[in-house]
Chains A and B, each alone.
Chain A
Amino acid sequence: MLGRAYVHALNSSTVPEGQPALEISNIELRFGGVVALHDVGFTVTQGHIHAVIGPNGAGKSSLLNCVSGLYHPQVGKAILHTGDGGHHELTKLPPHRIARLGVARSFQNIELFSHLTVLENLMLGRHTHMKHGVLQSLLWFGPAQNQEISHRGIVEEVIDLLSLQAFRHKPVGSLAYGIQKRVELGRALVLQPSLLLLDEPMAGMNAEEKEDMARYVLDVHELAGVTVILIEHDMAVVMDISDRVSVLDFGRLIADGTPAEVKTNPAVVEAYLGAEEH
């Protein structure tokens, strides 16, 4: 992996590469009597693409929701490290505070603001960096206008990066599925993430669209060195692009290692292919 002497604008984390960026430890999440996650823990290393895989219902999205604050686990912690040696306990914060720390995410079922244009959706990704005073908004001229202009720069950079120029002023509700997925990636990127959570960015796509999306994720990763947690079902994609893989099954972590290690792990093979009769 390349070492970087600089921090790219799209990456707001200053944790040195190779150091732990996110530590998840013995998380347990229950909904009533249903145990969605049981004693799940692993470490995500700065600069890695860290894949989380598992059969349907294994608890992958629930785990992501714990990290981004939408669910609060009954037991366990998710700790985000910062470059200055500090850390934040994400499992105790509400979602908007976690976003302010630079944890950005996309959703499995696209959750864009469907009546707004691509540009407005991306500008909303800048929300945590902007001011929202009532008076300045009513007056427009002055701070509100200047703010719109100054934040447009990074939004346009992301539009270029993801080839969204043609759709800039289109309402996202009217766009094709694949483009919407890309807009959602863009909305997470303009936040200048310290940690990027992607929940099945390639679900429901054909081979060509998957390749495009994988390329965008790799571009972002190579360009900015953003740490990515990726949930994905397509094994070929996961084995190709990830540095490390964690495998969940029925809410338990059954394997954690490099793609090569995980591929030959007997527990993983059993979860995916079923156990051989003895």
Chain B
Amino acid sequence: MATATGIHHRTYRAELRLRHTKAEWARLAIIVVLLLVVPYLLNTYWLGIANSILIAVIGAVGLNILVGFTGQISLGQGGFLAVGAYTSAIASTRLGLPVPVAVIVAVFVTAGIGALFGLPALRLKGLYLAIATLASQEIIMFVVRRWGFLTEDKGYIEVPRFGFIERETFEIQWYWILLPITFLAVLMARNVFRSSLGRSFMAVRDQDIAAEAIGVNITRAKVTAFALSSGFVGLSGALSAYYTETVTWERFTLDVSVLYLAMIIVGGLGSIAGSVYGAIFMMLLPALLTELGDQVGDSIPFLSDQLPAIKNALFGAAIITFLLIEPRGLDRIWTRVKDYVRFWPFRY
């Protein structure tokens, strides 16, 4: 129960809810309304970016489960996305499985492979683990590039478009497919971290020896974290396969792993909401910078041929600025904004 003196819970069940006050519910309602209206306000180009964001959010949440919540740094994100994409594409085009089944198969296969490549984490920590996961990235890349069986020696897999998707309404139809999936995935990830499984991940991150001493099976916790994280990443990869309609190895290189790491660092490590903000930021910023370049390009002709390079530099500068202002990411900035409004006009 929220009163002027604070929030007073009457039951544990009430306290465990994700939202307690009317303001929080109102904020959620505004976001939901915005998400429902957005596709009718955006043109096809921006809607395409919105769809890429929705897919990236799932991947970023998955990576944050591993890096931000369990403290196991991973550079293998691109590889696990590739496993999800290739598995679902092969399952639905060559094995003839229905798409939902193929996606679920992809989630489980990626989870399994993630758990396998997570085994070095039982012995390695920090930078050493980063190098081990870098190896897993390169191993997976090597396999998908060289194993002709995967692409039937074509080098790529073509995934047929869903029958019900029309050419003109492609993006908006995909938006309605992706939005509920992403929403559920984010909610489920949030659920994990208010139950005992997620708490044991955070215990491993903060103090692994103490975690062991209170009864957390560290081996199990780490392998489960790798599997769960990779499951989300696999889902993201599988969706991207159907959305882009072609699967090629170029979309899953080390750059992608680094981009996703940047998303969760900018958004906020160890925060589900942060992963969402980070994914939006990192996917939106390049598009906005391109837009900006197009607008000012004509007025400064001597720079127009340098625009792509300037865009990259600005992208980097924006990230550094954000990290300097708030190392704990966008999620923390948002919390501070909320606190400011809550305490206004009494600032201290």
Nearest chain A CB to B56 CB, angstrom units:
20
A257 to B: closest C-beta gap in Å: 29
Q: Are B197 and A134 in contact (CB under 8 A)?
A: yes
A152 lies within 8 A of B12 (CB): yes
Please name all residues of chain B whose beta carbon is closer than 8 Å to the beta carbon of A125 when the two chains form the complex.
214
B210 touches which of A111, A144, A148 (Cβ 8 Å) = A111
Q: Are A137 and B195 in contact (CB under 8 A)?
A: yes
**The stretch of A11-19, A54-62, A72-80, A112-120 that contacts the partner chain:** A112-120
Shortest CB distance B32–A (Å): 19
B192-229 interface mask toward A, CB cutoff 8 Å, 1 = contact, 0 = none? Answer: 10111111101101110111111111100000100110
Across the two chains, which residue of chain B brings its CB closest to A150? B12
On whether the beta carbons of B16 and A124 are closer than 8 Å, the reply is no
How far does the Cβ of B318 sit from chain A's closest Cβ, in whole Å? 27
Q: Do residues B207 and A111 form an inter-chain contact, with CB atoms below 8 A? A: yes
Which B266-289 residues have C-beta < 8 A from chain A? 270
B13 at the interface (CB under 8 A from A): yes
B337 within 8 A of A: no
Whole-angstrom distance from the CB of B193 to the nearest CB of chain A?
9
CB of B43 closer than 8 Å to a CB of A: no
Which residues does chain A contribute within 8 Å of B209, judged by CB atoms? 70, 107, 111
| Alpha-carbon separation in the docked complex, A202 to B270 (Å) | 33
Q: A134 touching B214 by the CB < 8 A rule?
A: no
How far is B16's CA from A100's CA once the two chains are assembled, in angstroms? 26
A163 to B270, CA, bound (A): 29
Interface contact A112-B212, CB-CB below 8 Å: no
Q: Is the CB of B215 within 8 A of A100?
A: yes
* Inter-subunit contact A147/B196 (CB<8 Å): yes
Most interface-central of A70, A128, A132, A188 (chain B CB within 10 A): A132
**Which residues from B are CB-within-8-Å of A130?**
196
Whether A132 contacts B200 by the Cβ 8 Å rule is yes
Q: Are A148 and B217 in contact (CB under 8 A)?
A: no
- Mark contacts of A85-120 with chain B using CB atoms, 8 A cut-off: 1 yes-contact digit, 0 otherwise: 000000000111001100011010001111110001
Q: Report the Cα distance A93→B205, complex, angstroms.
A: 23
In the complex the two chains form, is B210's CB within 8 Å of A113's CB? Answer: yes
CB–CB A95/B16 < 8 A: no
Chain B contact residues, CB within 8 Å of chain A:
12-13, 16, 188, 191-192, 194-200, 202-203, 205-207, 209-218, 224, 227-228, 270
Closest 4 CB pairs of A and B: A99-B215, A128-B215, A140-B191, A111-B210
Give 5 A-B contacts (CB < 8 Å), ordered by A residue: A111-B209, A112-B210, A127-B214, A132-B197, A132-B200
Known: A69-B213, A145-B13, A188-B214; 11 extra A-B contacts, CB below 8 A, are A113-B211, A114-B207, A115-B206, A120-B202, A124-B199, A132-B197, A137-B191, A137-B195, A137-B197, A148-B195, A152-B12
